[in-house]
Amino acid sequence: MTSPVGDADHQTARKAYEALEPFHVLAYFNRGHRAAEQDTGLDFRAFYVGARGAPMGDCDAALVTAAFYNFSPEVIVPAWTAAREVGLDRVARRRDQMLDEQLRAVLGDRIDDAEIRDLEKRYREIAVDLPMGGRPLAAGWGASAVPDVPHVALWHAIAIIREWRGDNHIAALVNHQLGGIDAVVFHEAELPDPTVQRRVLGRKLVQLTRGWSDEEWEASVDRLAARGVVERTDDGHRLTDAGATLYGAIEDETDLLSAPAWSGGGVDDLLARTRPYVKAVIDAGILPGTRKKD
C-alpha cells in the first residue's frame, strides 16, 4: 500500500521519472516503427496514437484528444480514426511485437536476465496500487493485458506508472490554466538559466508530432507573453522570472501528486537495479538527443 507523502517521496518521484523515462519512450522512438507502420498500413502519427491510446478502448476521438492533451485535434482525430479502422487490438499486438524486437536488439545478452522478471514484479506491484481516479490514460493502461514476454511486461508495468504521472502532470497544467498548445509552447521555452538541463524536443519536432501550425504556435507565444510568463527573443521565446516560477510550481506539483507511487520504501535499490537496462536504451543511440556508444 502507498504511504503518506513526505519530502523524500516528493524528491524520489522526480528521480524515478528521470530514471525511467528513457525506457518508456523507446516505444515511440525506435528503428522498428517503419516496419510496424507498413504492417498495419498506418502512418507514424496514426500508429503512435493507436499504440498509446489503444488501452482506452474503442472510444470517441474526443476522449483521446482530452487524454493526450497537448496534441492538436487535427492530429488525434484522423490518427485515431485510422487506428480504429485497422483494429486497436491489432495495433497493440504490433506495438508489443515491435517492443520485443527492439528490446532484444538493445539489451543483447541481458534479455534473458532473471532480474527482468523480478523488476517487472516490483513495478507491477507499484502500478496495481496506484489510485486511478481522474487518470484516464493510466487507468486504461492499468486495465490492459499484461504481455507474456518478460521484458515487454516490464515495459508495460513502467508504462502504467509513467502514464499515471502524465495524468498528474495534466492536472497540474489545468490547475495553472495552461491549455494543450500553451502547455507545450511554455515547456519548449528557453530557460532564463541556460545551465539548467531538461528534456525538450524543439519546436520543429513538437510541431511535427503534435500537429500545431505556425499560426497557432505564434498565437500561443502571444498569449503567454501577455500573461507575463514568456518573452520573445530573436530566435524564439524564453521564460520570464514569473514564467520560471510557474514552471517550477508545475513540476513541483506534478512530483507531489506522483509521490505516492514511491512511498513504499526500497525505491533507490529498485532504480539502481533498473539502471543498467535504461542505460542500454540510452547507449543504443535511438532516442532523440542520444548517440550510439560502442
Report DSSP letters for 210-270, one per residue. H---HHHHHHHHHHHHHHTSEEEETTEEEE-HHHHHHHHHHHHHHHHHHGGGG-SS-HHHH
Question: Which pLDDT score, from 0 to 100, does residue 61 have?
Answer: 97
Please check whether residues 144 and 238 belong to one and the same domain.
no
Residues 173 and 257 sit within 8 Å (Cβ to Cβ):
no
Please check whether residues 139 and 226 belong to one and the same domain.
no
Q: What share of the chain is helix, strand, coil (3-state, %, to 5)?
A: 70, 5, 25
Please check whether residues 89 and 141 belong to one and the same domain.
yes
| Residue 161 falls inside a structural domain | yes
CATH of the domain at 220: 1.10.10
| Alpha-carbon torsion angle 235, 166, 21, 110, nearest 10 | -150
Give the separation between CA 259 and CA 16, rounded to whole angstroms: 10
Please list the pLDDT of the chain residue by residue as tens digits (294 residues).
Answer: 344 455 666 789 999 999 999 999 999 999 999 999 999 999 999 999 999 999 999 999 999 999 999 999 999 999 999 999 999 999 999 999 999 999 999 999 999 999 999 999 999 999 999 999 999 999 999 999 999 999 999 999 999 999 999 999 999 999 999 999 999 999 999 988 877 777 778 889 899 999 999 999 999 999 999 999 999 999 899 999 999 999 999 999 999 999 999 988 899 999 999 999 999 999 999 998 888 886
Please check whether residues 274 and 134 belong to one and the same domain.
yes
Give the separation between CA 289 and CA 275, rounded to whole angstroms: 19
Please check whether residues 51 and 70 belong to one and the same domain.
yes
CA angle 74, 178, 15 (to 5 degrees): 105
Question: Which pLDDT score, from 0 to 100, does residue 156 have?
Answer: 98
Burial 177-209 (b: 16+ CB within 10 A, else e): ebebbbbbbbbbbeeeeeeeeeebbebeebbeb
Domain extent at residue 53: 30-175+264-283
| Residue 86 falls inside a structural domain | yes
**Single pTM value for the model:** 0.93
Please check whether residues 104 and 216 belong to one and the same domain.
no
Question: Which pLDDT score, from 0 to 100, does residue 2 have?
Answer: 46
Please check whether residues 279 and 134 belong to one and the same domain.
yes
Q: 3-state class of 1 per DSSP?
A: coil
C-alpha cell at 267: 525505491
Question: Which pLDDT score, from 0 to 100, does residue 7 have?
Answer: 60
C-alpha cell at 70: 497537448
Please check whether residues 151 and 224 belong to one and the same domain.
no
| Residue 215 falls inside a structural domain | yes
Give the separation between CA 138 and CA 254, rounded to whole angstroms: 15
**Number of domains making up the chain:** 2
| Residue 125 falls inside a structural domain | yes
Please check whether residues 140 and 278 belong to one and the same domain.
yes
